[in-house]
A and B are shown apart, each in its own frame.
Chain A
Amino acid sequence: MALFFNQLINGVHVGSIYALIALGYTMVYGIVKLINFAHGDILMVGAYTIVVMVNMLGLHPVLSIAISVLMCILFGVVIEWVAYRPLRASPKISSLITAIGVSMLLQNVALLIFSPTPKPYPIQVNVAPLQFWEIQISFTTLLTFVVSVVLMVLLQGFVISSKAGKSMRAVSEDTDAAMLMGINVNHTITMTFAVGCALAAVGSLLYCMAYPAVSPTLGSLPGVKAFIAAVLGGIGMIPGAMLGGFILGIAESLTKGYISSQMSDAVVYGILIIVLLFKPAGLLGIGIREKV
């Protein structure tokens, strides 16, 4: 039984990180209907910023975190401006390929600058794990869980009740109508990327605290997993991203623990496929029937 709970806690830890990254994915998708393949690489940008700030410039970790958040926002906004905005009226697949190009560019530039050798992540919390009988909860796990849940709630509040959030929802619902209502669509999209990338920066921090080696391809795996989480929960839905992240993390962990660690990826994709076949818009997504 303790084994089960420990596996569950492992799953929650991984799931929280997926969820946090999935939030950014889902927001961007919701508003521009673009699978932003470069989102995972924003994590990498955040991680290297911290490495440079702390290890090379010797800045205080808290200051470095702030800079890293700003850096991620800057990258996100510039990428949107340079690479995605000119393609907004083009077929979605062109933007998708551009996103793949941006992702490759970020990774390869990072390879040139930082070399493929992984760098240790400087920010670590060394607090003894909590122990309940046989069950162990590490501080990082707890921190990750709390931070991602709090951010999800804040984000949901922001989107629902703030003026900026309302314009985001309006643009996501119908860009043209929003424009006619006097909403500055460009600003709104920029802001969405900024918020999404800020979340990615936090995700990067938590991810790297758990897996503290920073390499140019750091973002690919959590990027893909978070994307799956977002789709699983219903892409475009903030609570959906959260739910998807947790389900994915727990499913992975339990599969590794009880079924077969070899097959954990196959099981994860299997779950996704089955869910989509029965709920084509994801768990919390509302299927919109094409009006005839």
Chain B
Amino acid sequence: MNTKKLLALILTGIMLLSLSLPMAVAEETIKIGGISVLTGPASLYGIAVQKGVDLYMEQLNAQGGIDGKKVEMLWMDDQGDPTSAQAAYYKLVENDGVVAIIGAVLTGATKAVAEAAEADGIPMISASATAYEITTGRPNVFRTCFLDPFQAVMIARYVKDEGVTKAAVLYDNGDEYSTGLYNAFKEECEKLGITVTAAESAATADVDFKAQLTNIKATEPEVVFLPYYGAPAAYILKQAKEIGLDVKFYGADGISNVIDSITDTSLLPGITYTDHFTDDADSEIAKNYMKSFEEKYGEKPTLAFSATAYDAALVMTEAIKTAGSTDFAAVVEAIKNSNVEGVTGNITFDDHNDPIKSVFFTTFDADGNRVFIKRMDP
């Protein structure tokens, strides 16, 4: 009995001891903090962001860094949890003395980080948080991805151009991203005179959408808008086929990794979505990005978030260069006035600290390769 007690004590002891692990001693570098969801089910987004940022920083440091100083990226995993993200923020800022923040990745975590960052005035760029209000009233918080409403509006316009008059929506009611897109889409449809025949929703983590799809089918829409992430979208496409709902589907950036989850790739040409970036982009920097990404990680980027993250790192470091110091106010001012050529196009920020950029309508061929359709500007 005593040995067991001892074992339990030692176990907890080891855990507590590791608290006192010495912090890494750093040389003269510019430290930038990265907060991202690196573990858990949502980590595919977080890891994509991390890869994009790391790729850029590696290239930057290879070219000598910022004014001779190397940039050191310090990553913190937030597990997608707001509390953990806020703690991670304080750890980076207070313990490690970072001068800027890139992140967080998921909306809730990013809001929690932005709450804390707003008070400190530290420059912060998120590469993936698309909810509108994150940058509202926070002069030091930026993003390099576009907004939920913006994508939805563009999709509605695209659909209108295709001559569609009846559209239906299936969205995730427990997810801010999904509901945000749905609301904006519905509004724009009303403006454009497209009838929304059905707006069905599902709970987060649902896997069976046949009931909703059956309802949607009964209203005979011409297209169905799916503001979803890849894995549920794969289910929806499959189940739509099973219940015989044969229409065109539209999605936003979140759906771009549907390819990973789908078995029957012949369903893929049925979907069109908006992306931040297209693999076929012809700018020099975009080509270089595609090439070096594959060299570094041995695979093509699976999510456009890697590209927006690359751009976030680019904007941040360029701003520090421009500001000539790491003074928060100066860097924030420099970001605000950014006008740089990034992977996802030319990046400038509007009054709301959102990037003004184009969307790329993309689809797939039956083998699962992305096919660029067209670019739409705001």
Contacts and interface: CB of A to CB of B under 8 A. Distances in A.
Direct interface between A and B, CB < 8 A? yes
Interface of A: 3, 6-7, 10-11, 13-14, 108, 111, 115-122, 124, 126, 129, 136, 138, 140-141, 210-213, 215-217, 220-221, 252-254, 256-257, 261-262, 264-265
Of residues B207, B238, B257, B264, which shows the largest number of chain A Cβ atoms within 10 Å of its Cβ? B207
Given A6-B243, A257-B214, A215 B231 contact: yes
Contact of A256 (B42, B211, B230, B242): B211
Contacts of B260: 117-120, 213
Interface string B118-156: 000000000000000000000000000000000000000
A32 B204 CA distance: 32
Lowest 8 CB-CB distances: which A-B pairs, in order?
A256-B211, A213-B261, A10-B210, A118-B261, A120-B263, A138-B242, A211-B207, A212-B263
B44 A7 contact: no
Interface stretch (B195-203, B285-293, B322-330): B195-203
B202 A115 contact: no
B302 interface: yes
Interface string B211-224: 11011001000000
Interface in B29-81: 39-44, 47
Contacts of A262: 173, 201, 203
Given A116-B43, A119-B260, A136 B243 contact: yes
A124 B261 contact: no
A82 to B, nearest CB: 16
A213 B261 CA distance: 5
A111 B261 contact: no
A170 to B, nearest CB: 32
B208 interface: yes
B261 A13 contact: no
Contacts of B201: 261-262
A136 B244 contact: yes
Of residues B47, B235, B263, which shows the largest number of chain A Cβ atoms within 10 Å of its Cβ? B263
A217 B262 CA distance: 17
10 contacts: A10-B214, A116-B42, A118-B230, A118-B260, A120-B263, A138-B242, A213-B262, A221-B205, A261-B212, A262-B203
Contacts, number: 115
B173 A261 contact: yes
A264 B209 CA distance: 12
B169 to A, nearest CB: 12
Contacts of B215: 3, 256-257
Given A6-B214, A212-B261, A253-B210, 18 more contacts: A3-B215, A10-B210, A10-B243, A11-B211, A111-B39, A118-B231, A118-B234, A122-B263, A126-B264, A140-B242, A212-B262, A213-B261, A217-B41, A257-B212, A261-B200, A261-B212, A262-B201, A264-B202
Of residues A136, A211, A215, which shows the largest number of chain B Cβ atoms within 10 Å of its Cβ? A211
A51 to B, nearest CB: 11
Interface in B218-250: 218, 230-231, 234-235, 238, 242-244
Of residues B40, B207, B208, which shows the largest number of chain A Cβ atoms within 10 Å of its Cβ? B208
Contacts of B39: 108, 111
Contacts of A211: 207-208, 235, 238
Contacts of A216: 41
A208 to B, nearest CB: 9
B87 to A, nearest CB: 20
Nearest to A222: B207
Nearest to B208: A14
Nearest to B211: A256
Interface string B302-342: 10000000000000000000000000000000000000000
